[in-house]
Amino acid sequence: MATKIFKSKTILAGLNAKTIKGDKATDYVTAIMYLAPAAQSLLGNVCPMAELAGCEAGCLSKAGRAGIFSSIVNSRIAKTQRYFNDRRAFMAELVRDISAFVRWCGKHGVKPAVRLNGTSDIQWETAHPATRSGHGHLVPITYASIFEAFPEVQFYDYTKVYKRAYKALPSNYSLTLSYSEASPRYRDAVLLAALETGANIAVVYRTQHIRNAVMGAGKVDTFGHSNGERLAREVIDGDETDMRFTDPKGVIVGLYAKGKGARRDTTGFVIG
């Protein structure tokens, strides 16, 4: 399928090289929302675990086009400020844009997938009701979450809010935990969540070579909890596609650092 582009005020599709690869290999197209990460918007923090997990220095918001063009950064800040200033209006805007994306996907004969946390870590399943008109109803219906409002959409995200792994999430929302050794407290909590729930866990290796060295038939990578427990799992190539909802269960999603900041990261977020 040729690359097609969808643009709206909140979500974009067809501009991320990694999702494009997955889109071409499947019948899905992924739209992503990019907000100003951590406290960059100056109105609040959309990445509550950023300091503890040490991921701000290597954030993907500083890689690629966003690391070059200030207009992209300013647009993300403005979007995030809209979110904090009037969440209800922002959710209405997001509903309109996802509705347009669903129609766009139907026109192009593909299935819609959405990542709401491209550069954020908001718990969209909690305290984010969404009102949608149509959808088989004569009057607008308010749903508990955006996921319930759009059952025909496959949502997925990475998260460092490890407590989310214990929640009963909607069936159309897939979460992958994100590993970091920036602090023993965070490392232990995310490993325990993966061990207790079976959730997949993404690990960012410093280079592609380091990541590839632990991949392959019969190989596992192992990470230790301070209580002596070990997480030993097969490592899959997480850069081949971004479609995390298609991954097998109980694996390590192996990524490698992108951008100068991430490759030079010494916080513990990047491994190796």
Percentage of residues in the chain having pLDDT higher than 90: 77
Per-residue confidence band for 21, with pLDDT thresholds at 50, 70 and 90: low
Tokens of 194: 């993966």
Q: For position 1, what pLDDT does the model report?
A: 47
Per-residue confidence band for 55, with pLDDT thresholds at 50, 70 and 90: confident
Q: How far apart are CA 98 and CA 104, in angstroms?
A: 10
Q: For position 74, what pLDDT does the model report?
A: 92
For residue range 144-185, list pLDDT tens digits in order: 999 999 999 999 999 999 999 999 999 999 999 999 999 999
Q: What is the pTM of this model?
A: 0.90
Helices (DSSP H) in 169-258: which residue ranges? 184-197, 208-213
Tokens of 195: 């061990």
Percentage of residues in the chain having pLDDT higher than 70: 89
Can you give the three-state secondary structure of 89-143, one letter per residue?
A: HHHHHHHHHHHHHHHHHHHHCCEEEEECCCCCCCCCCCCCCEEECCCCCCCCEEE
Q: How far apart are CA 269 and CA 158, in angstroms?
A: 14
More confident residue, 260 or 129: 129
Helix and strand tally (H, E) in the chain? Answer: 8, 14
